[in-house]
Amino acid sequence: MKYGSIIIEKKEYVYLKRIINISGYAKDFDTKQSLQKFSEELQNAQIVDEEDMPKEIIRFNSKVTVASEKGWERTLQVVTPAERDMAQNKISFLTPMGSALFGYSEGDTVTWDFPTGQQLLKIVAVSQETNSANKKISI
């Protein structure tokens, strides 16, 4: 891991904590399990101001290219639950894949338990939306 722990912007951190507390009532076991692991990672996360956020960190609205040890490569955008749209490859951070990637950096490798079993993912590229600062979470 490039930075030693995941990195989260302050306002996004507050939002994530709120949503994870509410999502504890999710009925899907895999979602609950992924969010529990993500919640544990948040305990050791580096929380930083917007101006100190490294550009290669996966956060809300980041476009991410990941490669699996199983041979597939995919570009996704990590978004809030309300913005998810699989037809446009927009995944909610509440999904196992979204929570697996959030806060990690380009070049990191992530091992995560997905519904189909544990997989090793390499984060190949991360880009931020041009106007993503305007689309970030407001509290």
Element (H, E) at 134: helix 132-135
Per-residue pLDDT at 132 = 43
Per-residue pLDDT at 84 = 94
Of the candidates 127, 66, 128, 72, the residue with the CA atom closest to the CA atom of residue 98: 66
Other C-beta atoms lying within 10 Å of the C-beta of residue 42: 19
Give backbone dihedrals phi and psi of 66, rounded to 5 degrees, phi first: -120, 145
Quote helix, strand, coil % in the chain, to nearest 5. 35, 30, 35
Residue 77, helix vs strand vs coil = strand
* Architecture of the structural domain at 7-130: Roll (3.10)
Per-residue pLDDT of the chain (139 residues; tens, 9 = 90+): 899 999 999 999 999 988 888 766 566 777 777 788 888 899 999 999 999 999 999 999 999 999 999 899 999 999 998 999 999 999 999 888 898 899 999 999 998 777 778 889 999 999 997 644 445 554 4
Q: Sketch the domain layout of the chain as residue ranges.
A: 7-130
Task: Write a three-state SS string for 87-115.
Answer: HHCEEECCCHHHHHHCCCECCCEEEEEEC
Determine the Cα–Cα distance for residues 76 and 73; give it in Å rounded to an integer: 10
